Amino acid sequence: MNDLTPYLVISTTLFCLGIFAVLTRRNAISILMGIELILNACNLNFAAFSRFVTPPDDISGQIISIFGIVLAAAEAAVFLAIILAIYREFSTISPDETDTLKG
């Protein structure tokens, strides 16, 4: 494919699916998967723009993608740790049932 448009269509779809998953899922792991989809949509965007928009010798877009992948991993680690803590306290990982803080 020698055109930017398909990449953008895919990344936007991924982004929307990610947001949809975060908004509708009732399980923290599924929410985490939605967040990963959002971040991967961004990485795809950066890589595609680096290939089609910036000059061929400018790889800053790809570098940003790599940073994005690393941060997604760090975020997943923290998220899973917090999910474990939540499970210990509440014996569930649904955001709907962990609602002691209100008002």
Partner 1 sequence: MDTLNNVQSIRYFIPELILVAFAAGVIIYDLIGRQEGGRRAAHLSLAGLAAALIAVLLVGAADRSLFLGMVQLDSFAVFFKVIILITTAVTILFSMGSEELDPRTKGEYYALLLAVTLGMFLMASSTHLLMIYLSIETVSLASYILAGFLTHSPRSSEAAFKYIIYGAVASGTMLFGISLIFGLTGTGDVVQVSNVLAELFSSGGGDYQLAVLVSIIFVLAGVGYKIASVPFHMWSPDVYEGAPIPITAFLSVASKSAGFALFIRLFYSGFGSANVIESVDWSLLLAVVAALTMTVGNLAALPQQNVKRLLAYSSIAHGGYVLMGGVLLTAEGVHAILFYLIIYLFMNLGAFFVVILIAERIGSETIDGYRGLVTRAPLVAISMGIFLFSLTGIPPLSGFIGKWLLFKAVLTEEFYWLAIVGLLNSVVSLYYYVRIVKAMFLDSSDEPNPVSFSIGSRALLVVFVVPTIILGLYWTPVYQLSKASLGKILG
* DSSP-assigned letters across all residues of 39-70: HHHHHHHHHHHHHHTS-TT--HHHHHHHHHHH
Question: What gap in Å lies between CA 57 and CA 50, rounded to an integer?
Answer: 9
Site size toward partner 1, by CB under 8 A: 44
| Closest among 79, 68, 16 to 44, alpha carbons compared | 68
Rule CB under 8 A: is residue 71 a binding residue for partner 1? yes
Q: Alpha-carbon dihedral of residues 75, 102, 16, 34, nearest 10 degrees? A: 40
Rule CB under 8 A: is residue 30 a binding residue for partner 1? no
In the list 27, 59, 64, 92, the residue contacting partner 1 (rule: CB under 8 A) is: 64
In the list 9, 29, 69, 82, the residue contacting partner 1 (rule: CB under 8 A) is: 82
Residues that bind partner 1 (CB under 8 A): 11, 15, 18-19, 22, 28, 31, 35, 38-39, 41-42, 45-46, 48-49, 53-54, 58, 60-61, 63-64, 67-68, 71, 74-75, 78-79, 81-83, 85-86, 88-90, 95, 98-101, 103
